[in-house]
Amino acid sequence: MKMNRFKTVHALVVLGLLTLSAASCTMKKENHEQVPTIALEDFFKNSEKSSFKLSDNGKYYAFTAPYKDRMNVFIQEVGADSARRLTSETDRDIQGYFWKGDHTILFTRDNGGDENFALYAVDIDSGSARSLTYAPKVRTQIIDDLEDDPEHVIVGLNSRDTRIFDAYRLNINTGEKSLIAENPGNISGWMTDHDGRLRVATVTDGVNTSILYRSSEDSNFRTVITTNFKESFSPELFDFNDSNVMYGVSNIGRDKAALVKVDMNTGEELETLFQDEQNDVTGVGYSKKRKVLTSVYWYGDKMNRKYLDKTVGDMYTDLEQKLPNVEVYLTSHDKAENHWIVRTYSDRSRGSFYSYDANSKELNKLADLSPWINEDHMAEMKPIEYKSRDGLTIHGYLTLPKGVEAKNLPVVINPHGGPWARDNWGFNPEVQFLANRGYAVLQMNFRGSTGYGRKFWEASFKQWGQTMQNDISDGVRWLVDEGIADQNRIAIYGGSYGGYATLAGVTFTPDLYTCAVDYVGVSNLFTFMETIPPYWTQYLDMLHEMVGHPQQDSAMLSAYSPSLHADKIKAPLLIAQGANDPRVKQSESDQMVKALKDRGVEVEYLLKENEGHGFHNQENRYDFYRAMESFLGKHMGMTSESR
């Protein structure tokens, strides 16, 4: 059950903390010591080692590391000096992996960015790898890794109908699969209990969502909770003592999502375990071995935790004393929960991995993710806030180039994707790269960004290019009013929805930006909704409510589709696109490029045939950021001498 994530409302999220205010913005004096220009590749090359995970018996570490510029899985015996490569993927990074018992690793990968992820198994002794679920145009979901069953996992496959996922029990040795539950056509998610039994499903009609429950796999599902998509109950895990009680994150009847306890026979909320006044609860940690909840967490300016269990709370206290000035996370453990993997990071470091003995408290470094990065040369990421023109508080992050005065700086405005996602505090290679090149970078969590409650989220509905865009423009004006930004050197750059916001920015506020970089962004709201992936079809009615209906709201969608108003654009653009993108099709970029060229507007087009929604292959990342550096330098007047 630990693999399960049950966030129905946010199925469309990925298209995918010092406080400064507009009233009071006193910048800390910087030490104006110049930092060196760091090689582009140092920001964007693959990690030296990453994603450490312990085997159940605690005997082996697994981790990912480059092999022929692709991230592959390696294993190393605990205490040994060398590791052994298990996989040999050369055309695409391994997307994710996990241990299955002590002798098998399962991993997922797609083809050319098509996001049709398939599951593969590799034996750690022989190194023999085999496909378990690959088929053309079929996508695999991991429903439950069944950690107590050495031979099976539960997966969702859309092989029968590309729009929906049936649940199967899959034998990892033979590849044989048996159907547990056939999707009648409206189920958007499945969930198991602690014993690996399929007990919960969600049903959607595109607007309303119902939680279905059954007391055993021999029983029929029945509806226990129904909400409009604006309210949600997201089950997290079953109670360890009562299999009819569940813990989940709910915003039903409240603005900020809380951790609650629910009777699944009746759907009744039994208890509110934790609620933050300012932010939504993000999730909950637990120990299956000790059968207790361990923590609840939520994002403010940074990640926050409340410990519900002394054992885990004491471990974090010990780790934070041993590893000061960084964020610390327990990420993996053996089955006995005696040995752990610890991950650290900060805004100026990608961080490190450590091994930690819960009994002896011994801590040993395993690897730095990017040892070539000198954090003293990186810039500080400062939480900020400002007011929108209609009175909302917009939170975000401002990164200033290190060693220069915060006055009349060239700025890159960087709206996030989603749009129903958010930016978080931490190391961001794009931001650090731009800061190293002399640009200030502003990231804002405009209305609709998640984590700030229902009201703030709902304020984004049918506001693409409108008040959502105003929140971004107001951030620009805040920087200018504070004297931080040079109003004649402001660029905008974003990916996915951030790409749409980039195009909307230069279309609907054409005098605000000097130039723009659109990365796999939506340009036409009509064609975007016509070409969504088939497994998003269930959510089309919800998308119509949140973005707009092609017929009923046609005038609005037309008014705020940048490609239909290319005659307003003055600023030069760089547009990057993956040919295999299943979310934002190549046609979105093609039509924008054509519209600009027809008008004689300067546009550079970088199209990668072997990429999807964002560039994942290392060499393609290099090409994109080289093009961005050259493009911004040309139009923002940033030469190596001016930095």
The larger pLDDT score, comparing residue 26 to residue 601, is at 601
Mean pLDDT calculated for residue range 460-474: 98
pLDDT digits (tens, 9 = 90+) for 289-328: 999 999 999 999 999 999 999 999 999 999 999 999 999 9
What distance in Å separates the CA atoms of residue 168 and residue 403, rounded to the nearest whole number?
A: 57
Which pLDDT value is given to residue 222?
A: 95
Q: How confident is the model at residue 642 (pLDDT cuts 50, 70, 90)?
A: low
Q: Is residue 326 in a domain?
A: yes
The larger pLDDT score, comparing residue 24 to residue 106, is at 106
Comparing 541-545, 565-569, 635-639, which segment has the lowest mean pLDDT?
Answer: 635-639
Say if residue 77's pLDDT is above 80: yes
- The total number of residues written for the chain in this structure: 643
Q: Is residue 11 in a domain?
A: no
Q: Is residue 39 in a domain?
A: no
What distance in Å separates the CA atoms of residue 328 and residue 246, rounded to the nearest whole number?
A: 28
The larger pLDDT score, comparing residue 244 to residue 638, is at 244
Which member of 51, 352, 449, 496 is catalytic?
Answer: 496
| CB < 8 Å & 24+ apart, contacts of 168-173 | 170/119, 170/132, 170/133, 172/100, 172/104, 172/106, 172/121, 172/132
Shared domain check, 419 and 330: no
Shared domain check, 557 and 498: yes
For the chain, how long is the longest CA-to-CA vector? Answer: 72
In this structure, are strands 96-100 and 104-109 parallel, antiparallel, or unpaired?
Answer: antiparallel
Mean pLDDT calculated for residue range 225-231: 92
The larger pLDDT score, comparing residue 65 to residue 127, is at 65
Say if residue 539's pLDDT is above 90: no
Which member of 416, 613, 616, 635 is catalytic?
Answer: 613
Shared domain check, 515 and 409: yes
Mean pLDDT calculated for residue range 494-505: 97
Q: Is residue 525 in a domain?
A: yes
pLDDT digits (tens, 9 = 90+) for 256-298: 999 999 999 999 999 999 999 999 999 999 999 999 999 999 9
Say if residue 4's pLDDT is above 60: no
Shared domain check, 489 and 409: yes
Q: Is residue 109 in a domain?
A: yes
Shared domain check, 314 and 183: no
CATH number for the domain including 324?
A: 3.10.450
216 is catalytic: no
**Which of 135, 162, 193 is where one domain is finished?**
193
Shared domain check, 631 and 493: yes
Q: Is residue 25 in a domain?
A: no
Q: Is residue 102 in a domain?
A: yes
Number of domains in the chain: 3
Shared domain check, 631 and 596: yes
CATH number for the domain including 174?
A: 2.120.10.30
What distance in Å separates the CA atoms of residue 346 and residue 173, rounded to the nearest whole number?
A: 41
Q: How confident is the model at residue 15 (pLDDT cuts 50, 70, 90)?
A: very low
Which pLDDT value is given to residue 127?
A: 86
The larger pLDDT score, comparing residue 410 to residue 637, is at 410
Shared domain check, 611 and 555: yes
**Which of 134, 168, 193 is where one domain is finished?**
193
Q: Which of 201, 254, 196, 195 is nearest to 230 (CA)?
A: 254
Shared domain check, 322 and 184: no
**Which of 328, 343, 376 is where one domain is finished?**
376
What is residue 619's three-state secondary structure? helix
613 is catalytic: yes
Say if residue 22's pLDDT is above 90: no
Which member of 280, 581, 589, 616 is catalytic?
Answer: 581
Say if residue 30's pLDDT is above 50: no
Mean pLDDT calculated for residue range 631-643: 80
Percent of the chain scoring above 70 in pLDDT = 94
CATH number for the domain including 620?
A: 3.40.50.1820
CA-atom Rg of the chain in angstroms: 24
Comparing 2-11, 31-40, 52-61, which segment has the lowest mean pLDDT?
Answer: 2-11
The larger pLDDT score, comparing residue 92 to residue 23, is at 92
Shared domain check, 323 and 176: no
Residue range(s) defining the domain that contains residue 465: 378-636
Q: Is residue 507 in a domain?
A: yes
pLDDT digits (tens, 9 = 90+) for 509-521: 999 999 999 999 9
Shared domain check, 394 and 368: no
Which pLDDT value is given to residue 20?
A: 26
Tell me the three-class secondary structure of 132-143, residue by residue.
CCCCCCCCEEEE
Which pLDDT value is given to residue 32?
A: 54
Comparing 9-23, 84-98, 157-171, 567-581, which segment has the lowest mean pLDDT?
Answer: 9-23
pLDDT digits (tens, 9 = 90+) for 130-151: 999 999 999 999 999 999 999 9
Shared domain check, 563 and 548: yes
pLDDT digits (tens, 9 = 90+) for 411-451: 999 999 999 999 999 999 999 999 999 999 999 999 999 99
Answer for the pair 442, 522: CB distance below 8 angstroms, yes or no.
no
Which pLDDT value is given to residue 640?
A: 59
